[in-house]
Structure 1
Amino acid sequence: MRQWMMVAALLPMLGGTALAQETVKIGYIDPLSGGGASIGEVGYKTFQFLAEELNAKGGILGKKVEIVPFDNKTNPQESLIQAQKAIDGGVRYITQGNGSSVAGALTDFVTKYNERNPGKEILYFNYAAVDPVLTNAKCSFWHFRWDANSDIKMEALTNYMKSAADIKKLYLINQDYSFGESVRSAAKTMLKAKRPDIQIVGDELHPLLKITDFAPYVAKIKASGADSVITGNWGQDFALLLKASADAGLKVNWYTYYAGGTGGPTAIKQANLNHQVFQIAEGIPNLGYPSADAFEKALRAKYDFSLFYPRAVNQMRMFAAAAEKAKSLDPVKVAAALEGMQFDVYNGGGKGIMRKDDHQFFQPMYIASFGDRTEKEPFDEEKTGWGWRQAAKIDPEQTMLPTTCKMERPN
């Protein structure tokens, strides 16, 4: 009788364990409060939508996918606290994108955690943090990046800009942290080689997500006589920068990484910069690929935003494909399956590849301008009536910069 009572007492616990194993938990560690909240919420809902897509097809290896949100307030230290909470909650896969300082801290944390906890490893899927160091000096077997790093993006952007004869005077304005520094340094180096005639008339760094009025910065741009600006600003730092530009009547061409983020399209329309704002990205609406168009329509029907993260689609679908290939959800086996994987990208532009040497994903890239639309461009942004238009496509082979990564792999 006593043995039966002990077994009966254990049954609920065993049932809970079995239930937990039926769910693939992905910890989403990004800002859900503070200055980065608007873009963090968009990312969270996008990943929820992608989880629903996978679950409608049977999940991953028959297990339901669940996105578990953790608010890091765009703070590296807070991110580590949230990462530990995720692990304590049974998460073995985490994803993050907003802030390369956060990404660097998470990479170090995950690498050290896995060294100390063999058999309990976790993987870090990076969907948007683009500091080149993450797949160079700070590369890790446990980190995979689906976004092009900032050097790759600048290589593509400056290849496009080198043939723009109207660029004479250029202003650089970026956020004061590792990513912003990488944008400014890459821009100066690459333009010097490709367009030495372009005069850089300003080079500004400002605090990350803390400026509420960019009027003083815009006044400097206007006074410099610049005809073009390069900025890696994202989130409210881009939207408020363009708002101040509109207020000041600044009319220049903008070459950006994240103009399509929350509030960006509205700010561009209000500034009346019709096809004067360019963005380098791995995909945009209005490319005309039927599968991507159907996804875009479904996402917009559920949420009040467009797909800002095509790379998140590639990430989640490749995760599922890697688990199927490995026939396992063990992070070590999934990581091995991801290395060198070729995959048909979301936007229909061809195949991308996860380079084994540094875990950097290479994919077709697009330069697009934002403004009025033709009949072949059905999607607008933020109810502005304006939309994205392809200006150039760059094949993966043209963006494969070398890496200095010396990766240590588990035995």
Structure 2
Amino acid sequence: MSAAHAAPPIRLALIEGMSGPFGNAGAMVERNLRFAIERVNARGGVKLRDGAHPLELSVFDSKNAVEDSLVQLKAAGDLGIPFVMQGNSSAVASALIDAINKRNAREPGQRMLFFNYSAVDPTLTNEQCSFWHFAFDANAAMRMQALTEAIKEDGAIRKVYLLNQDYSFGRQVSGLARQMLTQKRPDIQIVGDQFHPIGRVKDFAPYLAKIKAAGADTVVTGSWGNDLTLLVKAAREQGLELKFYTFYGNALGAPAALGEAGVGRVFAVAEWHPNVGGETSDGFYRSFRARYPEAKDDYPLLRMTVMVDMIAAALEQAGTVDVVTVARALENRRVRDGLVDAWMRPNDHQMIEPLYVSVMRKAGEAGVKFDNEGSGYGFRTAMELAQQRVALPSTCRMMRPR
């Protein structure tokens, strides 16, 4: 496709916190999306009925705040961008769903679709489910299902402390942990259940003092970004021999922050990690590192590449950028290859896929070919859970356009 005759791009709006306390998480998202988009464009772009179109990413800084996100949503809409992506806050995702529902009802000629890669509050695909929203990450209930299956098998765990960010997602994680641990390991004592302000705590030492005083041997947390990094740094500095069962313990500086103290003690849950193994997985990881060779950028998220690939395939099936046609092409879409086994469940637009619980180990040990961020520490699979073990039922009652 020559530049002189190139078709207009299909624009994707990224609304994310690119500045502020979670700016590093926003930058990580942008890297992953640009990597995925470049792969689609390198193979010829998206072929619609009128020819091939490149994908183009436009970034809107929401500062990870609800009001700023809504302002940026309007800005994207005013530019005629039909596809919106966001994920690093369930509170923001909830507000975007509501705003897009209202916009699409009010302006049927300028509808938008919302592709969510990381906001995992289960409410988003249950009580708040929307035809205009697709969730490409396992929700918090599915992630907790996986983590508690691993905890169930860890007989050394006796006392658990729940520590989470104080917003809707953190409270969901806390409630789910209580519910599932009670069902699966009634012998475990929950000795603390605490919330901390999101993005505002500079020193987690007082929280860890409470964890120590409670006699906990394990912390279960959904905290992410700098909050998680600072938490594990403080644990290392205090020399606490805790296990951390986390949603994001393999991310954004956490392994390097914890160092040797994390070996065998930090667990994370995800749809993939670099040491899953196999030629296809290794090749994906190496291609990401070739694109972003700096150690600080070493955090590929397979689900973002899967999301962009599925969007491109749905656009090609639709043959148009009409959002209703594209949404219907995404529903029930399945991807099965050497790396991915994913299904977009049609009744609630929730991605269903296997999950891995992995444990931090030294690079070079069996099952740890790759480390994280040049830290010398990586993650090894501790448990793999097939789709049917994590595909929890949905209460979604979706309203569909005629």
Normalized against structure 1, the TM-score is what?
Answer: 0.92
What's 2:297 paired with?
Answer: 305
Report what 1:138 is aligned to: 128
Deviation at 1:351?
Answer: 2.2
Q: Pick closer, same or farther for the CA change 1:183–1:96 going to 2, 3 Å.
A: same
Aligned to 2:264: 275
Over 3 Å counting, the alpha-carbon distance change for 1:19 and 1:248 in structure 2 is: farther
Partner residue of 1:259 out of 249, 265, 278: 249
**8 A Cα contact 1:341 1:354, kept in partner:** yes
Alpha-carbon shift at residue 20 of structure 1 (Å) = 10
| Corresponding residue of 1:332 | 324
For residue 324 of structure 2, what is the amino acid of its counterpart? V
Q: Residues 353-405 of structure 1: CA distance to partner in whole angstroms, max 9, x if unpaired?
A: 11111000000100001121326532111111111101111011111111111
Whether the 8 Å CA contact 1:130–1:148 is kept in 2: the answer is: yes
Tell me the secondary structure at the aligned position of residue 95 of structure 1. strand
2:328 is equivalent to residue 342 of structure 1: no
Please say if residues 365 and 395 of structure 1, whose CA atoms lie closer than 8 Å, have aligned partners that are also in contact: yes
- SS of alignment partner, residue 91 of structure 2: helix
Local SS of the residue matching 2:244: strand
Single out whichever of 313-322 and 230-239 deviates more from structure 2: 313-322
Residues 18-62 of structure 1 deviation map (CA, whole Å, 9 limit, x = unaligned): 999610111111111001101110101111111111110011121
Q: Which of 70, 77, 83 is equivalent to 1:87?
A: 77
Q: 1:50 is aligned with what amino acid? A: A
**Residue of structure 2 in register with 1:406 after alignment:** 397
Q: Which amino acid aligns with 1:249?
A: G
What SS does structure 2 have at the residue aligned with 1:55?
Answer: helix
Partner of 1:72: 62
More displaced 10-residue stretch of structure 1: 76-85 or 322-331? 322-331
AA in 2 matched with 1:80 = L
1:125 has 2:115 as partner? yes
Aligned length, in residue pairs: 391
1:205 matched to 2:191? The reply is: no
- Among 368, 378, 387, the residue aligned to 1:377: 368
Q: Is the 8 A contact 1:51 1:66 kept in 2?
A: yes
Q: Which amino acid aligns with 2:103?
A: Y
Q: Which has the higher contact order (CA 8 A, sep 6+)?
A: 2
Mean Cα displacement is larger for which, 168-177 or 373-382? 373-382
Q: Secondary structure at the match of 1:280?
A: strand
**Is the partner of 1:44 in helix, strand or coil?**
helix
Q: Is contact 2:252–2:299 with CA below 8 Å preserved after alignment? A: no
Segments of 4+ moved more than 4 angstroms: 18-21
Aligned pair partner of 2:307 in 304, 315, 319: 315
Q: 2: CA distance between counterparts of 1:299 and 1:353?
A: 24
Question: 1:344, CA displacement in angstroms?
Answer: 2.0
In the TM superposition, 1:354-369 aligns within 5 A as 354-369=344-359
1:290 corresponds to 2:290: no
Contact kept? 1:229, 1:255, Cα under 8 Å: yes
Match of 1:229 among 199, 219, 223: 219
Paired residue type of 1:122 = M
Determine whether 1:55 maps to 2:41. yes
Cα contact 2:255–2:262 (8 A) shared by 1: no
CA contact (8 A) 2:332 2:346 kept: yes
**SS of equivalent residue, structure 2 residue 181:** helix
- Opposite residue 358 of structure 1, the aligned amino acid is D
Partners of 2:63 and 2:182 in 1: CA distance: 37
Q: Where does residue 4 of structure 1 map in the other structure?
A: none
CA separation in 1, counterparts of 2:271 and 2:286? 19
Q: Is the 2:126–2:394 Cα contact (8 Å) retained in structure 1?
A: yes
The one-letter amino acid paired with 2:110 is K
Partners of 2:388 and 2:335 in 1: CA distance: 15
Distance in 2 of aligned mates of 1:168 and 1:104: 36
Q: Distance in 2 between matches of 1:34 and 1:171?
A: 29
The question of whether the paired residues in 1 share the 8 Å contact of 2:367 and 2:380 is answered with no
TM-superposition CA deviations, 1:276-302 (whole Å, max 9, x none): 100011000011232232221122123
Q: Over the residues paired in the alignment, what is the CA RMSD in angstroms? A: 1.6
Larger gyration radius, structure 1 or structure 2: 1
Structure 1 residue 326, shift from structure 2 partner: 1.7
Q: Which amino acid aligns with 1:103?
A: A
| Cα separation, 2, equivalents of 1:115 and 1:26 | 21
- Output one character per residue of 1:323-376: Cα deviation in whole Å (capped at 9) or x when no partner: 12222222111100111111126xx35521111110000001000011213265
* CA distance, structure 2, for counterparts of residue 290 and residue 118 of structure 1: 46
* Ranges in structure 1 where 5+ consecutive residues have no aligned partner: 1-17
Q: Once the two structures are superposed, what CA deviation does each residue of 1:294-322 show, in whole Å capped at 9, x if it has no partner? A: 22112212324234421111100111111
Q: Are the equivalent residues in 2 in contact too, given 1:39–1:261 (CA < 8 A)?
A: no
Instruction: Output the amino acid matched with 2:15.
Output: I
- Contact kept? 1:275, 1:372, Cα under 8 Å: no
**Which amino acid in structure 2 is aligned with residue 312 of structure 1?**
M
- 1:242 and 1:189 map into 2 onto residues whose CA distance is 25
How do 1:151-166 residues align onto structure 2 when only pairs under 5 Å count?
Answer: 151-166=141-156
Q: Residue 100 of structure 2 is aligned with which of 96, 106, 110?
A: 110
- The answer as to whether partners of 2:7 and 2:54 remain within 8 angstroms in 1 is no
SS at match of 1:119: helix
1:225–1:376 distance in 2 versus 1, CA, 3 Å: closer
Distance 1:151 1:228 in 2: 19
State which drifts further: 50-59 or 307-316.
307-316
The amino acid of 1:31's aligned partner reads G
8 A Cα contact 1:261 1:308, kept in partner = no
- What is the TM-score when the length of structure 2 is the normalising length? 0.94
Rounded Cα–Cα distance in structure 2 between residues aligned with 1:40 and 1:98: 8
